[in-house]
Amino acid sequence: MPRQLKGTLEDLHTTQLFHLINLTKKTGMLHVYDGVATGREIIMGDGETKRPEVVPGKERIRIAFREGKLIHATSGEQDSHLSSVLHKSGKLTDEQYRVIRQKAANYSDRALALLLINANYVTQNEVVQSVQQQTLGIVYDVMTWSKEPFAFEEGEQPPGDRITVPIDLGEVIREGTRINTNVKGLTELLPNLDFRLKFPDSAPTDKLKHTKLTREEWQVLGYVTGQNSIRQIAKVCSMNDTEIRQWVSGLLNSGLVELVKPASAPVTGKEGRKAQIKPQQPQREMIDRIINRIKNA
């Protein structure tokens, strides 16, 4: 395997890359980018088939490996600060997260972990589990991609202040392949993340009687206004495409939300930023509304 390997996931799928890194026990960083169309076409090896040429745009994902093991991953679409990782995994309450993020914004992950462990906010094991969960979530999502440009830089490693967790890459490949099979069904159900979500006019009482929602589903419900798109909700909830499809599909199957086709082009630029995505009414009021529906079902 060369010291630098470039291409697209259409030429060399993520699973194949991971197999190569695992077998050769490589140390380095995989960068995956948005694909930007050049307007030109590439002639394939058979001399007849053509496909649109894409070049790397904005970096979306970084995945680090050490001696063939997965050790770290970050996404440009998710907040990777340790406080956010712990909050997402349910190890910090909303109030704890707000205070810690405000007072420890400039702390490195390692320094913050030591502070929180010594203050009995979390245990060392909870920190490791949360970082591993974040890393695997990003990697499993990338394994569903199929066309993005990538570059593997041998020897490159994450900053020393990051918390790294060695994970067997063979297990990741096997589990990612299984998840990828399930994701295909979710993608068929929700092919367009620019669809909006709204509450149905009347709740299906037969389904609500047996409804038990996860923490993530409650979080998504807090941003269901009829105006926010699934993509926007994913950003504010720090969820990748696979995760948001999973939780929204559960809500759809429960009859708690309905899809609304986008009336115009997808929201981009400043309008798509996290700060712009807000509940239409206080989240507590909206959650109470759903709880009452379930109780009265």
- Nearest CA to 235 out of 100, 86, 60 is that of 60
Of 83, 85, 105, 107, nearest in space to 161 by CA: 107
Mean pLDDT of 80-90: 92
pTM (predicted TM-score): 0.71
Least confident of 82-91, 175-184, 223-232, 273-282: 273-282
Given a cut of 60, whether residue 208 has pLDDT beyond it is: no
Q: How far apart are CA 104 and CA 85, in angstroms?
A: 14
CA–CA distance, 279 with 286 (Å, rounded to integer) = 9
- What is the Cα–Cα distance from 156 to 66, expressed in whole angstroms? 9
Q: Is the pLDDT of residue 88 over 70?
A: yes
Helix (H) or strand (E) holding 32, with range, is strand 28-43
133-147 per-position pLDDT tens digit: 999 999 999 998 988
Determine which of 30-39, 82-91, 268-277 has the lowest per-residue pLDDT on average. Answer: 268-277
* pLDDT at res. 274: 41
Q: State the average pLDDT for the chain.
A: 84
DSSP label at residue 182 = H
| Side chain identity, residue 73 | A
Instruction: Determine which of 29-33, 69-73, 143-147, 178-182 has the lowest per-residue pLDDT on average.
Output: 178-182
Q: Which of 244, 250, 283 is nearest to 88 (CA)?
A: 244
Tens of pLDDT along 223-246?
998 889 999 999 888 888 888 988
Cα–Cα distance measured from residue 44 to residue 51, given in angstroms and rounded to the nearest whole number: 8
Is the pLDDT at 45 greater than 80, yes or no? no
pLDDT band, residue 267 (cuts 50/70/90):
very low
